[in-house]
Amino acid sequence: MHNSAIALTPFALRVFCGPVARTLKALPPLLTFVMMVGCGNSALAPTSQMPLAKGSVYAAAFDDRGSSAVVGSIHHGISYWRLSDSERLFDWKHIQGVDTALVAADFSPDGTWALTADKNTLTLWSTTTGEGLRYWQAPADILSVQLSNDGDRALAGLSNQTAVLFDIRRGGILSTLRHGGPVHSVALDATGNIAATGSADRTAASWDLRDNKRIATVRHGEEVQLVALSADGELVLSVSKYDKAMIWRSQDGAVVAEMPLRAGRLKRGLRFTSARFSLDKRFLLTGQTDQTVTLWRLDDLKNPVSWKVGTRRLWKPVGSHILDVAFTAEDGQFLALASNGILFRLHLPNSDAK
């Protein structure tokens, strides 16, 4: 997944946190509301929800603007949605007449191309015409994918302990990034020059694809299940099941922050299942296994804003999880798509600004 811009407008707000009232002047509304909600422990509710699939979903992805989605349903294969009017525009199949079991999907940063992957094949689609333009066989089982701008290159995390950069237009492998275990997650920056990978070998790595060199390696205590990369390639989020989630610099591996997740819940399997940096790198939006979506302000990780998009038993992390999250072009509006096929629209309510 890639990154999206979020517009912020200054205003003044009176915030009450415990017995102390203080006025925060000339702060962006999103920034101020993060502070306000962070004072309490209650999660917000979605403003609306809509099913994009009947039953469970294998995989799904938003475009960077939160205007489109690719959804892989167990019952009807892959569909492409325009979210502004909830219109299902295209149904896609890798093999004609056979519903594709989607493993992973991604959009080019400009949203004009979509990449879908089943267990063994990749297909490039035009989001304008719905036409499938390229179809490639992967050298091993596909676990994750990312698409570069203009849809010219695709990075795939594979079960054979590599991530492979494909020339998706002309064919052929441009580079191979090696790990000591299956590569569960991959990410690209907006230029397609910097990559991040997360592997079962308990490491996350950053790479310079211009010379195919590993830049930095960060070690976790368990398998790395998810990586996300800021649009400029500077920051990496790496997430390990039963272990911590960290933000670190791609150029030297220096840890910037460790996400404040409770150890007990991590041991029960709570983890991030999707994540996206805002374009300005001030915010991180995450989806979790407990049906929670959280907005983190990177300079104050102790006071996040959360939405609960479903009910579950906290002591047993089962059920629907968040497949993808997105910032949108509208202030304070966010999206989340759960594995039960439901699209949730999330909103930061208007404050009592004077």
What tens digit of pLDDT does each residue of 119-133 get? 999 999 999 999 998
pLDDT at residue 338 greater than cutoff 60? yes
- Determine the Cα–Cα distance for residues 328 and 6; give it in Å rounded to an integer: 7
The pLDDT, as a whole number, for residue 76 is 83
pLDDT at residue 330 greater than cutoff 70? yes
176 with 209: CB under 8 angstroms? no
Q: What percent of the chain has pLDDT over 90?
A: 67
304 with 34: CB under 8 angstroms? yes
pLDDT at residue 310 greater than cutoff 80? no
pLDDT at residue 354 greater than cutoff 80? no
Average pLDDT over residues 42-69: 92
Of the candidates 100, 99, 96, 139, which has an alpha carbon nearest to the alpha carbon of residue 116?
A: 100
DSSP characters over 12-57: EEEEEETTEEEEEEEE-HHHHHHHHHHTS-PPBPPSEEEESSSS-E
Amino acid, res. 127: T
Task: Give the pair of three-digit tokens for residue 99.
Answer: 């519903």
Q: Are strands 300-308 and 292-297 parallel, antiparallel or unpaired?
A: antiparallel
Domains of the chain from N-terminus onward: 1-92+272-354 (no CATH), 103-258 (2.130.10.10)
The pLDDT, as a whole number, for residue 37 is 43
Q: Are strands 113-117 and 104-107 parallel, antiparallel or unpaired?
A: antiparallel
| Residue 97 banded pLDDT, cuts 50, 70, 90 | confident
- Determine the Cα–Cα distance for residues 253 and 204; give it in Å rounded to an integer: 10
pLDDT at residue 326 greater than cutoff 90? yes
253 with 206: CB under 8 angstroms? yes
* Residue carrying the six token digits 């390229």: 134
The pLDDT, as a whole number, for residue 260 is 84
Average pLDDT over residues 302-325: 73
Average pLDDT over residues 63-77: 93
- 105: exposed, middle or buried (C-beta count within 10 Å: 0-12, 13-18, 19+)? buried
* Residue 347, CA distances (Å) to 49, 81, 168, 306 in order: 12, 21, 37, 11
pLDDT at residue 236 greater than cutoff 60? yes
Average pLDDT over residues 245-270: 80
* Residue carrying the six token digits 């790198």: 281
Average pLDDT over residues 69-82: 93
As a whole number of Å, the CA-based R_g of the chain is 20
The pLDDT, as a whole number, for residue 339 is 93
Cβ atoms within 10 Å of 187's Cβ, excluding its own? 31
The pLDDT, as a whole number, for residue 312 is 42
The pLDDT, as a whole number, for residue 319 is 58
pLDDT at residue 1 greater than cutoff 50? yes
pLDDT, the chain, mean: 84
